[in-house]
A and B are shown apart, each in its own frame.
Chain A
Amino acid sequence: AQSVTQLGSHVSVSEGALVLLRCNYSSSVPPYLFWYVQYPNQGLQLLLKYTSAATLVKGINGFEAEFKKSETSFHLTKPSAHMSDAAEYFCAVTERGSSNTGKLIFGQGTTLQVKP
């Protein structure tokens, strides 16, 4: 069964530093990949998604992610962290096929702390 692994349940960076949140998936067939952010007491907001076009995907708020098939990875990065980036981040996948629409498999989440 498809699974998603996010390395590091908590990541702490200083304001202005590089943000790197790691995500690996298990499927041998590349799935569709998503990164979501969740602020306290809110739902999930899509940051970006990979659907098999360019392997480097740019999202909102300065985030981007690179799909690497050889490493089965989809790590999220941001060159310079801002205090407002403090939140929980989820990597998720859906398996290819129209019947799998809406069935997201999530990683355990990574809480990003940004220190002043």
Chain B
Amino acid sequence: KAGVTQTPRYLIKTRGQQVTLSCSPISGHRSVSWYQQTPGQGLQFLFEYFSETQRNKGNFPGRFSGRQFSNSRSEMNVSTLELGDSALYLCASSWGDNSGNTIYFGEGSWLTVV
């Protein structure tokens, strides 16, 4: 079956712009979570959505937001981009009913802010 799909894979934005990243989870998965990966900070949890509701949130400013649709697809948005937002953004999905569920990751979206 298809894995976690993220689009776009690569994008370049200018400081001050906003960006929207998309994630399609594995079929049947209701939990979608987002992570930011940078060389300096490593992998950091942004937020998790389950059945269209934000269930968990990491320590990121309000410029980072997300949503989940009824088909479990998710989007994350970053407004007023800063140079430090340049990172690999990873989406992950799981069944979401138990924290021991396997969490599957997509290939990521590479965001460069110039």
Contact = CB atoms under 8 A, between A and B. Distances in A.
Given A44-B105, A99-B55, A100-B99, A109 B92 contact: no
Interface in A41-57: 42-46, 49, 51-52
A103 B33 contact: yes
A52 B29 CA distance: 23
Contacts of B35: 104
B110 to A, nearest CB: 8
Nearest to A6: B42
Contact of B45 (A43, A104, A107): A104
A100 B105 contact: no
Determine chain B's interface SS by DSSP, over half rule.
strand
**A46, A95, A104, A107, most chain B CB atoms within 10 A:** A104
Interface in B53-90: 55-56, 58, 90
A51 B100 contact: yes
A36 B50 CA distance: 23
Interface in B17-41: 31-33, 35
26 contacts: A32-B99, A42-B107, A43-B4, A43-B106, A43-B107, A46-B102, A46-B103, A49-B102, A51-B100, A52-B100, A92-B43, A94-B100, A97-B99, A98-B97, A98-B99, A99-B55, A99-B56, A100-B99, A101-B50, A101-B94, A101-B98, A103-B45, A104-B103, A106-B43, A109-B42, A109-B43
